[in-house]
Amino acid sequence: MRRCDVLIAGIGGQGTITLGTLLKLAALRAGIEVTGAERRGGAQREGPVTSNVRYRVPETGQERAADPAPFSGLIPQGGAHLVIALEPLEAVRCLPWMNPNTVVVAETAVRVPTAVRLGAAAYPPVDRLWAMIRQVTPHLHPVGLESLSKERFGGLRQVNVIALGLAAAVGDLPVDDDALLETVRERLPGFDANRDAFALGRAAATR
Amino acid sequence: MNPLASPGAGTRILAMGNEAVARGALEAGLGYFSTYPGTPASEVGTVLQGVRDAFPSLYAEISTNEHVAALGALGASWAGVRSMVTMKHVGMNVAAEPLHFAGYTGVKGGLVVVVGADPGATSSTGEQDDRWYSLHTHLPILEPSDIQEAKEMTCRAFGLSETYDLPVVVNAPSKLCHNIGSLTLGALPAGPPARGRFEPDPVRYLNLFHLAVENHGRCLANLERLRADVGRLGLNRVRPGPGRVGVITSGLHYAYVLEALEVLGLDDVPVFKVGLSYPLDPHGVAAFLGSVARAVVVEELEGFLEFQLKRYAYDAGVRTPVVGKDLFPATGELGIDEVTDGLAEALGRPVPAARRAGADAWNTVAGELPPRQGAFCPGCPHRATNYALLRAAGRKVVYAGDIGCYTLSVLPPFRVSDWVTCMNCGTGSGQAIAQVTDQSVVALVGDSTFFHSGVPSLLNAVQNGADLLLLILDNRWVAMTGHQPSPTTDRLLDGTRRRAVDLVGVVKSLGVGWVRRAGAFDVVGLENRIRDALAQRGVRVLVVEGECALQSERRRAAVPPDAETHVAIDPERCQRCHRCYRDLACPAIREEPGPRGDDVYVIDEALCQRCGVCEALCPNTAITRARIRRRAAP
Ligand SMILES: Cc1ncc(C[n+]2csc(CCOP(=O)(O)OP(=O)(O)O)c2C)c(N)n1
Ligand code: SF4
Ligand code: SF4
């Protein structure tokens, strides 16, 4: 049984949960067991949101057990294979789930919390944030997802699909591009732009 | 078609715990559903409202509050219809009165009460464990351990309810309600549920004097019948192992325990999985305890399983040492890592060091990171109201806030809520503070909370002559819990009109002398209205109108308007007075390095909702809006 645990983190309104749902639906399409809990903020924006995506892939030839042992919705600390963070600070908040082999994909654009806006706290330099992550894992891929999306598509709508392409390129996911793209086609409007966005994310990995 | 309505038994779909509960009820032939929304359980209602086309004989309502919802489900059950009521944990307090009678009257159609628990209070004002209610309501409790079980147990609960003549509770914590994973569907019933028919049954339903005492007795007898049968129902199970230390656990924690044992490299630990946590199986737990040298109870909050099982062990003369609440805290959420740490300690097996690298690094840097809290969405009417209120009333008044999205007004920069407890806490306690002090009290309440429990308190304030200004923040939706329609919803997302309650009329009918309405986005006009109100005495109600920005954004996406609006800050005019950036604190306004090297404020149009509030409040007319008509399609 191969496992793959993906932790997604962002702030309310960025589509963290949608991204998790896409990764899970792709698994269903590929016949892979999947589960994972979410920490939702309120209905409002700006609070931290996380989504756990946990895959269990049967080894080739292995049948799906009739009564598989339940696997929990939470990734244990130190257990994430891949972290997708839609904001730098939120990437660092995922540290407890990282280990030296964890691959981290992170947005570089900062969303300033209210405390910083009011002058009550400071936002550390982004390079300092990356150094915190590199203390644990060297496999960090910081990419300006929002600016790529604004540049190419004139808005933020494609950010998550760009992130998905990037994750597919570096994350060693058990779901392949076809399953991911088919899921995107089924769930999100504007497939032509999304296919480009996915390719853009994939290409960003090698830049 | 919504996959949750799919007839395909055996089909695998992706579902949330809440959706699995809803599907389980549909597979059981649900006929009546009522709820008052509340995180984490809200989506059960969203699903059942959404599938009514596929199940035309299903009655599904969003009730005024949990008390009404529970009474409704009980009535439908008496009429022989399988019924379900869902609520969040604290909703049980509001539903408690009817639910204390449900065991007395018993059920006709199976009656299932779904409770969404919130250990850790991640979206609540409390983390009470509703399982303790069953010690006096006597309602049996099922605790599913994963999404699949959430469906199976909910489906089965209806039959158990009918067999034992008691409503059955399904208790699901937020980490199960909001767990999304694969679910295998079962079969739907062949035909729609039959119409109900109410047959009077004076012995059961008329709880007067000695009849109430008899019904109490029958309730206890039903419970004893179930207690005697539990061992045969297959709801609990033992995962055997030769180890001398055994673990007893229930619900989600079963999965956490199995995974923790794997992390610790222990495969010999016997585990007793409780599926029915009230009543516990006395013989089952005593036998398990008797088979081990020591037992660890893994459960969240204040130790409901431990409390019961120690009694049964005592009765059976079993003296196996049991650790539970002396190992695991009685507060907060007990997640996979807390379970792993606790079992590591109890079983003398350390957590592998490799697992710790990230957590250790985190501990050294956490202090450098600014906290992040939620904030009103860009364009939220509540942000505008808070801004105007603070300008008009300042910091000298008592702010009687309440529960809803507007609870965020407790946070900086506004801090206009002096307490938050239960729904209606603002008007309810504020009117009394006004009676016993010389302070000016301003209460806030949302439209849904007002109808849920605010009406009697406002009437009380009128009848007793309190000095109170109440702002009813009518954003047209129950926003906090995922945008269910509220009594004041007048337009759905596809643009269709809906008949809404006349809120101002309701308030007037309660005898309030001073009632006005104001638009939230006209912050200057709103500020003046609030000043007018503060100059008066007695009960005053200002209805502040402005639709939830998320919902109007969704409607615009569904029905695009024919013009585009652009908003910008002119750096030449901006004097950096900070009113928009700090006092209003709209997240769409950002600070960026400007062309001359100094910082400037800019509006991120990708986030901006064009509410116009920053433009209205800017004292330097630095914020401009331009409307550009879209060219008509050729
Ligand atoms: C007894 C109880 N039931 C349900 C909830 C969940 N809940 C919190 S606020 C609220 C209503 C929010 O609607 P409204 O008052 O209109 O404010 P809005 O969020 O729209 O601003 C609900 C349902 C609760 N906290 N307590
Ligand atoms: S969801 Fe609606 S009411 Fe709640 S903060 Fe956002 S805009 Fe305001
Ligand atoms: S118009 Fe101003 S206050 Fe309103 S959402 Fe846009 S930036 Fe924020």
Interface test with A, best of B152, B153, B372 (most A CBs within 10 A): B372
pLDDT tens track for B446-474: 999 999 999 999 999 999 999 999 999 99
Instruction: Note whether B220 and B245 are same-domain residues.
Output: no
Last residue of one domain, picked from the residues B333, B364, B395? B364
pLDDT at position B557 over 90: no
pLDDT at B552: 95
Last residue of one domain, picked from the residues B203, B218, B233? B233
pLDDT at A43: 65
Q: How confident is the model at residue B558 (pLDDT cuts 50, 70, 90)?
A: confident
Say whether B243 sits in a helix, a strand or coil.
Answer: coil
Instruction: Note whether B608 and B529 are same-domain residues.
Output: no
pLDDT at A61: 59
Instruction: Note whether B168 and B59 are same-domain residues.
Output: yes
Burial code (b: 16+ CB inside 10 Å, e: under 16) for B393-425 equals: beeebbbbbbbbbbbbbbbebbebbbeeeebbb
Mean pLDDT, chain B, rounded, equals 96
> Which residues of chain A does B263 touch, with a Cβ-Cβ cutoff of 8 Å?
76
Q: Name the closest residue on chain B to residue A95, using Cα atoms.
A: B358
pLDDT top residue among B516 and B594: B516
Phi, psi of A160 (to 5 degrees): -70, -35
**Minimal CA separation from B191 to chain A, in Å:** 29
Instruction: Note whether B465 and B532 are same-domain residues.
Output: yes
- Residue count of chain A, please give it: 207
Show which of residues 36-65 on chain A sit within 8 Å of chain B, judged by CB atoms: 36-48, 54
Question: Which residue type is seen at A115?
Answer: A
Q: Which domains does chain A have, with CATH numbers?
A: 2-144 (3.40.920.10)
Report which ligand 2 atom has the smallest distance to the Cα of A43: 1
Cβ-defined contact of B374 to A39 (cutoff 8 Å): no
Q: Name the closest residue on chain A to residue B550, using Cα atoms.
A: A44
pLDDT at position A68 over 80: no
Instruction: Note whether B260 and B156 are same-domain residues.
Output: no
pLDDT at position B273 over 50: yes
Say whether A182 sits in a helix, a strand or coil.
Answer: helix
CA-to-CA distance for B148 and B152, rounded, in angstroms?
Answer: 6
Contact between A88 and A110 (Cβ < 8 Å): yes
Token pair 């009676």: residue: B435
CA contacts within 13 A on the Cβ side of B443: 32
The residue segments making up the domain with residue B267 are 237-364
Whether residue B106 is contained in a domain is answered as yes
Number of domains present in the structure of chain B: 4
Instruction: Note whether B202 and B61 are same-domain residues.
Output: yes
Whether residue B373 is contained in a domain is answered as no
Q: Which residues pair with B488 in a beta bridge?
A: none
> Which residues of chain B does A124 touch, with a Cβ-Cβ cutoff of 8 Å?
368-369
pLDDT tens track for B243-262: 999 999 999 999 999 999 99
Whether residue B38 is contained in a domain is answered as yes
Whether residue B574 is contained in a domain is answered as yes
- Return the ∠ at Cα B73 (arms to B69 and B77), rounded to 5°: 170
Instruction: Note whether B89 and B196 are same-domain residues.
Output: yes
CATH number assigned to the domain comprising residue B606: 3.30.70.20
User: Average pLDDT for residues A163-188, to the nearest whole number?
Assistant: 97
Whether residue B371 is contained in a domain is answered as no
pLDDT at B632: 56
Cβ-defined contact of A44 to B252 (cutoff 8 Å): no
pLDDT at position B415 over 60: yes
User: Average pLDDT for residues B295-303, to the nearest whole number?
Assistant: 98
Among the ranges given (A157-161, B7-11, B241-245), the one the predictor scored with the smallest mean pLDDT? B7-11
Q: How confident is the model at residue B634 (pLDDT cuts 50, 70, 90)?
A: very low
Cβ B85 under 6 angstroms from ligand 3? no
pLDDT at position A65 over 80: no
Instruction: Note whether B199 and B92 are same-domain residues.
Output: yes
pLDDT at A40: 80
pLDDT tens track for B347-377: 999 999 989 999 999 999 999 999 998 899 9
Burial of A104: CB neighbours in 10 Å, binned 0-12, 13-18, 19+: buried
Whether residue B372 is contained in a domain is answered as no
pLDDT at B631: 62
Cβ-defined contact of A47 to B13 (cutoff 8 Å): no
Cβ B546 under 6 angstroms from ligand 3? no
Q: Spell out which residues line ligand 1, taking CB within 6 angstroms.
A: B 36-38, 66, 88, 90-91, 94, 403-406, 423, 446-449, 475, 477-481, 486
User: Could you say which ligand is closest to the alpha carbon of residue B474?
Assistant: 1
pLDDT at A46: 83
User: ipTM score of the complex?
Assistant: 0.94
Percent of chain B clearing pLDDT 90 (strictly above) = 93
pTM: 0.96
Show which of residues 161-180 on chain B sit within 8 Å of chain A, judged by CB atoms: 175-176, 178-180
Instruction: Note whether B388 and B360 are same-domain residues.
Output: no
User: Average pLDDT for residues B187-216, to the nearest whole number?
Assistant: 95
Among the ranges given (B224-238, B497-511, B597-611), the one the predictor scored with the smallest mean pLDDT? B597-611
Q: Name the closest residue on chain A to residue B359, using Cα atoms.
A: A96
Q: Can you state the angle between helices B252-263 and B336-347, rounded to 10 degrees?
A: 60
CA dihedral (B68, B72, B73, B78) in degrees, to 10, reads 140
Instruction: Note whether B473 and B499 are same-domain residues.
Output: yes
CATH number assigned to the domain comprising residue B474: 3.40.50.970
pLDDT at position B107 over 80: yes
CA contacts within 13 A on the Cβ side of B89: 23
CA-to-CA distance for B69 and B61, rounded, in angstroms?
Answer: 8
> Which residues of chain B does A92 touch, with a Cβ-Cβ cutoff of 8 Å?
365, 369
pLDDT at position B333 over 70: yes
CATH number assigned to the domain comprising residue B315: 3.40.50.920
Contact between B339 and B260 (Cβ < 8 Å): yes
Last residue of one domain, picked from the residues B498, B527, B553? B553
